[in-house]
Amino acid sequence: MQTNFSSHPLVNTSDLEAFQHILDKAHSIVVTSHRSPDGDAVGCALAMTSYLRTQGKSVTTILPDPPDEALMWMPGVEDIVYYAEDSRQADELMANADVLFALDYNRFERLGRMSHAARKSPGKWLLVDHHELPDNFQSAQVHAPACSSTAELLYAVIVGLGGADAVDNDMAALLYTGIMTDTGSFRFPGVTPTTHLIVADMIAAGLEHAKVHEHIHGEAPLDRLRLNAFALNERLEVFPEFHTALIHLTAADMGRFDYRPGYTEGLVNQALGIKGIRFAVFAKEGGERVKMSFRSIGSFSARAFAEEHFDGGGHHNAAGGASSESIDVVMAKLRGLLPQIQTQLLAAQ
Ligand SMILES: [Mn+2]
């Protein structure tokens, strides 16, 4: 089934042996990923579940909460147990698991209210992730912050464990979704020759990549388009002197366009796509907090900014944060911070 891809430069044989050793003794396995699961999280969780089932294991996928509607086509999504909807069943499954997978996250806090059950589980944790500085809860890990996506790592893990034949078209679509969404359709700097070799293998084996793009980008509800158009028309602030663009949406704005989770996915990247812009922030009012997405190009660290000012974190060029202040206060704070980071933004390459 394989053509080009043989082993991943970021995946060690010794880590795979540690995985295999633990999996050999496992019967009841739980596969988890982070809350507000994105394409990488859901794709990895379902792909790993599918692979482990081919190995004769009893496996359940548990996520803290459901993904956006745009991901509801993914093969196997109907079998996921959501902690937010069925915490009793999820608690029981985690309490009885002998092995648990943590995919695409690096600390239990990323599970929200599910973190307590995760901590309590007597099972062994195996981690596959590309976020920096993981906590130390796992018995074994495949961890590579330089990797484009957890899905890219997971493909290497599955092939490395001898599971190349288990990568059927459904599993390839799951993994491709993770790689494609985490790389902004193969344009972010984390994409390497290996990323493309893996995708080449999957397409050679029958993956219909165009269908995945159609599912992700070609089935948008009209309200979503109109909300995004409104945001760009009415709520975009461009500061050429700071190479920065800010977008915010109030709860009232979102209510006007019948906001659903996922509607503003990618909006911050549109702001970043403006000529001359190196730093973009999207802030939205929701519940008791204002949530923010930070994106940067080049050496300016979105993560450092998020960590320092908004209790956030993430990757160098893509981070998130939150504030319990009002949206107006948050926006004023953001505008006020720009002169302080002007030197860094001007020097950013
Ligand atoms: Mn990811």
pLDDT given for residue 114 in this prediction: 98
Q: Three-state SS string across 203-224, please?
A: HHCCCCHHHHHHHHHCCCCHHH
CA distances from 218 to 59, 151, 211 (A): 32, 22, 9
Residue 44 CB contacts under 8 Å (≥ 6 apart), including other chains = 33, 103, 104, 128, 150, 151, 154, 174, 175, 178
Name residues with Cβ closer than 5 Å to ligand 1, which is an ion: 40, 104, 150, 182
Domain ranges of the chain: 13-217, 223-347
pLDDT digits (tens, 9 = 90+) for 206-238: 999 999 999 999 998 999 999 999 999 999 999
Beta-bridge mates of residue 187: none
Q: How far is the CA of 219 from the centre of ligand 1 (A)?
A: 22
pLDDT tens-place string over residues 174-187: 999 999 999 999 99
How confident is the model over 320-327, as a mean pLDDT?
Answer: 96
Mean per-residue pLDDT, 3-7 = 73
**Confidence category of residue 1, pLDDT binned at 50, 70, 90:** very low
Tokens of 243: 């190479």
Non-local CB neighbours of 343 within 8 Å, separated by 6+ positions: none
Mean pLDDT across 269-283: 96
93 within 8 A of 122, measured Cβ to Cβ: no
**pLDDT tops 70 at residue 131:** yes
Q: Give the long-range contacts of residues 268-271, CB within 8 A, separation 24 or more.
A: 268/293, 268/294, 268/295, 269/184, 269/295, 270/228, 270/232, 271/236, 271/245, 271/246, 271/247, 271/295
* Helix 13-24 / helix 150-160 crossing angle, nearest 10 deg: 70
Domain 223-347 fold: Diaminopimelate Epimerase; Chain A, domain 1 (3.10.310)
Tell me how far the alpha carbon of residue 321 lies from the centroid of ligand 1, in angstroms. Answer: 16
Three-state DSSP state, 122:
coil
* CATH domain 13-217 topology: inorganic pyrophosphatase (n-terminal core) (3.90.1640)
Comparing 45-49, 57-61, 68-72, the range with the smallest average pLDDT is: 68-72
pLDDT, averaged across the chain: 95
Q: Measure 59 CA to ligand 1 centroid, in angstroms.
A: 22
310 Cβ partners below 8 Å, 6+ apart?
292, 321, 322, 323
Question: What six digits make up the tokens of 159?
Answer: 């092939």
Give distance in angstroms: CA of 226 to centre of ligand 1.
Answer: 28
33 C-alpha to center of ligand 1: Å?
10
Greatest alpha-carbon span in the chain: 59
State in Å: Cα 330 to ligand 1 middle.
Answer: 27
User: Which residues sit opposite 101 in a β-bridge?
Assistant: 31, 126
